[in-house]
Chains A and B, each alone.
Chain A
């Protein structure tokens, strides 16, 4: 089945540790996105990438890093510089430039202990 796979689904981390969230898609989509969602809040854009080896900062990029070495993969690293990393992280992809239709993964819930 075509879709977006995020892993892990749940992750616990100690303060001061970096953690990488995986996002893989087999939809052959060019664009990929990372959003963060806090309880009861909307989604906030962290990073987005339109093509391989290129990505742009979103509205809350500080404390995060990404790479786009392959079309299928867009991993997000939550660094120790991110002051409040506990959140629900959502990855999405978009395959058509004529629409704003994003396809989302199931999300990764990160808890910092």
Chain B
């Protein structure tokens, strides 16, 4: 599985757009990128998954360039409740995403 690298922490203010980048230089052809959000003392929650270009849902967008060596999670107009840790994972579609390994994540702090 490709190793992922994310910034340890980020700061933002309410109402701003936040972009969190994940590096996965050794991503394989059948790998997909998945992002999770975790609040303290809770299990992570799935946010979004993508393979290439752009994916958007009701809470976030995921941008993946053509070489797929990185991806960016975009959170529009963040609020205080978006303060959490965000994890980027790479999963192998051929195995049905059998083994899912979390990295260290990015701790996002949203201030008033």
Interface, chain A (partner B; CB < 8 A): 31, 33, 35, 41-45, 48, 50, 56, 58-59, 88, 90, 92, 94, 97-107, 109
Contact = CB atoms under 8 A, between A and B. Distances in A.
Nearest to A4: B43
B42 A107 contact: yes
27 contacts: A33-B100, A35-B102, A41-B104, A42-B87, A42-B102, A42-B104, A43-B87, A44-B102, A45-B102, A50-B96, A50-B98, A56-B98, A58-B99, A88-B41, A94-B97, A97-B97, A98-B96, A99-B34, A99-B49, A100-B32, A100-B34, A100-B89, A100-B91, A100-B100, A101-B49, A104-B44, A109-B41
The 7 closest A-B pairs by CB, nearest first: A104-B43, A97-B96, A100-B91, A100-B34, A43-B102, A100-B97, A101-B46
Interface in B2-28: none
Contacts of B105: 42
A108 to B, nearest CB: 11
A98 B98 CA distance: 10
A1 to B, nearest CB: 16
Interface of B: 32, 34, 36, 41-46, 49, 85, 87, 89, 91, 93, 96-105
